[in-house]
Structure 1
Amino acid sequence: MADRLAWTDGQLHFGEVTITTQGGVSIHDGSDKTDYQKGFVTLTSHRILWKDKSAQVELALSAIVFCEKKDALLTSKARLVCTLSRGQEPKRPGPFSSSRYDEIQFEFRDGGCNDFLRLIQEELVKKRWLLQPVKPSATTTNDQLHRTGISGIENHLAHQLNVQHQSISGAFQDLNKLMQQAKEMVSISKTIANKIQEKRSDLTSDETIRFRSYLLSLGIDNPVTKESAGSQYHTSLAKELANLLEKALKDTNGIMTLSDAFCRINRARGYELISPEDLLNAAVHMEELGLPVRLRVLSSGIKSFELTNRNEKKDLEEIASLVKTVTSMSADQLANQLGIPVIVARERLIAAETNSLLCRDDSIEGLRFYPNLF
C-alpha cells in the first residue's frame, strides 16, 4: 500500500522524537520495485521517514498493523515488511495515487534490518503517537504560539511532564494487565500443547510446525522462585533453565547467546521474571551440576549457552564443508544458513580458521572465509 506514503518536509512534530536512522534503504510497493532507492530511513516515535536528494516521504506508525523481516535472497537483501491497515482518514498527497498491495517493504542494502525491526516493534507497542498533543486552535495567535520567557519555559516543562506521566501510567497499566493474564496464558498453552500431542497423528507437517511456532516458550509450570527455593534458588534455577534451553539449543545449532536466552527464558516464565544477574549466577552452576547445558565465553567476550555434549571438532568440520560447497562465505551468509546470530557465526568461522580448516580474505568488501587448501 505505497499509496499510504505522503510527502513531508521531514520536520519533527511537537513531542515526536527520533529513534534511529539507517542508510542504503529502498522502498518496494509490495514486491514491486519503486523509484525510491538507496535513501535514508528514519524511525521516530510517530512515523517512518524516508528521503534521498530529491524526495522526502513519510509513513505513519498508526497505519502499520505489524512488521516482520523477510530474509535476504540471492537477488535481494533483507527486507522489513510492513503490513498496513486500510485507514478511513482522507488520503494525503504522496508519490503514489493507488496500490494493489497491502504492504510496504523496506530493503536494507547496507544492513541494519534486525535492529530497525526490533526498534519499530517497540514503538508499535508503546503507541506514543496517541500521546501527541492536539494542535492549537485557529484562534491562537502567533504571539501565543511562540511565547518565550519564564512563562513559556514553565508551560513547556509542564507539558513534557504530563506526557511522561501519561506514558508511564499507561505502561504500568499494560504491565498489570499482562501479569493478571500470564497465569491463564500458561495454563491455556499447556492445554493446547497436550491436545496437539494427543492428535499428533491427525496433524499434517505444516500444521504441526505452525502450532509449534505459536506455542514456543509460552510458559513453564511452577517456575522456580526465591521464595520457594530459598538458599538453593540459583542451583534450582540452573536445572530449570537447562531443561528449557536444551530443547531450544537443538533448534539453534547447539549455541545461543546469553541475551537471546534471557529473552526466551523470561517469555517462558511469564509472570515470574528473572534478572540478568540471576540468569548469570544460575548459569555458572550448570557445569558443576552435570547438566546438559553449560555457559561458555566466546573469544570475543560474548557469553553464550551451548549443549554439553556438543562436538566442537565435528561442528567446525561441517562449517568448513559448507564453505567449500559455495567457494567462500561471510558471517552473514553462515548466520542465515544456520539460523544463528551473526556474531556467533563469525566466532564459528574464526574458530575454523584457528583450526586450519579455513583461511580469510579481509578486503574493502568485508571479511570472507575460504577453504584452506594448504
Structure 2
Amino acid sequence: MPSTKLKRWSPMACLPVAALTPSGLLEMDVKDGEVELMRRGDMDLRSDMADPMVPLSSDGSGAASTSGLKWIDRDDNLQVSLTTHRIVFFATSDTSDNQRNARFLHLSHLHQVTSVAGGMMSAFSAPRLTLHSYMGDLLLIFRESGAAKDRDDLLKFLQRAMERKAWETQQRLQEKNRASQAIASRKVGVDAIITKSNLRHKEAARLTEDAFKGDAETLLREAAQLVKVIQKYATTLEKGELGEGEDTTRLSDMMENMGMTSALSRQNYRGGTSSSGVADDYTTTLARQLADFLRPRLKACGGLMTLTDIYCIYNRARGTNLISPEDLLDAAGCMKSLRLGMSERTFPSGVKVVQSDNFDDTRMAIRLKELAEEQLTVRTSSSANGDEGLTAMQVSRTLHISALLAQEQLLASEKLGYLCRDETLETTRFFPNLFEDYLKQYSTTAKQ
C-alpha cells in the first residue's frame, strides 16, 4: 500500500547543506582549522517562532518553493556535532538507502545562546538551549539520559567557540604569511633561503613564548599554529633528521604524551541507539570513519583486507587515540546495514575480512584460474619438472595481497569449481579444474 505521508518542510530544510564524505561523515574545512569538539545523539531541533521559516534549495543558492508542503516546526531524533566553526545536524532519511542528510548553522550567525530548564508540568520539560540566530530563535532539546549535563557541556563548548572565533584564524594567518613572503621576496639565491629559515624560526619562537606565557585562552587561540609547529617536528622525527640525542628522545616522549588528535573517542562522544537500530551512535560513526579510511586502500588491495591488517594500519593512523579490537569488530559488523559500500565477511577457516561490495568471488576465481594456466604454460615451455601448480605465495606476490588472503581465495575458487588442489608435504598447489571442461566436451559429443 503506498505511503500517504504528507510532504513537509521543517527547520532542517531552512539551514544550509553540509557536505558529507561518501560514508556520511561531515567534511570539515581542514584548511581553515575546523575541528570537531563534541557530538551528541537523540536530540530535537525546534523553531521557536510563530511564523514558518524559509526553506533553502538543495544547493543553498536561494529559497525553495513551499507549494504543496506542510510546515512542521520540529525535527526529531537528530545527531548533533559541534565544531569550532558550526553546529551540524544529522538526520537519516526514511528511504531504503538509509541516506544521511546534514545541515549546519555557522557560529558566526549566532548572537547568543541561553540555557533553559523546563518545569515538571511544562510541555518543554526536557533540558534545552535557545539558539538566537540571524534567522530567528531555534530550540535544541536534549532527550537522552544525562540530558542536563549534555546541555551544560554543549553550552560551555559553544560559548568558548563563539569567543575564540576560530573561523577568523585563517585570515590572520594569511596576513602574517603575506608579510613574511614580502620580506623574503626581496632576497635571492642563498640569501633568500637563509631569510626564509630565519623567519620560520623567529615565528616559532614568538608563537611558543606568546602561547605559554599567558592564560589558557591565549594558548587555545594559538593552537592552530602550535599544531603546525608540532607536526613539523613530528615529521622531522619520523625522517630521523634529529639524530639520537637526549633532545630527540625528550621531544619524542612529549609527542607521545600529548596525543594531539581529533579522532573520535568515547570520551568526547555519547549517543543512544542509532536511528537504524543496528548499533549505538559511537559504533556507527566509527564504522563510517573506518569506511572512508579503507575505501582507497581496498581498491589497492584487490577489494578485501583482513581485520588484523586493518586494526594495525588504522590505529597507526590514529596515533595515540587507539580503538580496541572489540570496537573494530562492532564497527565492521554494522557496515552492511549502513550501506557503506563494504561489509564484514568470515571465511570457512574463521578469518575475518572487510570486503568491498564490488568484490566478486566468481571474477576472482576466473582470475586465479588464468594465473594457474599461465603457470602451467611457463613450466611446460621451460621443460621444468616438479614445481608446477599455483601456490598461495605466488598469488600473494602477483595480486599484492597477504599470503593468508591468497590461500583463502584459492580455496574459495576451488569450492566454486574453477581450481583443484594437490596437497604435498612441501605445500598445497592449485591447478585449473579440467574435469568441468571434460564433462562439457563429453556432454557435447554424446548429444551429437
Q: Which has the larger radius of gyration?
A: 2
- TM-score normalized by the length of structure 2: 0.35
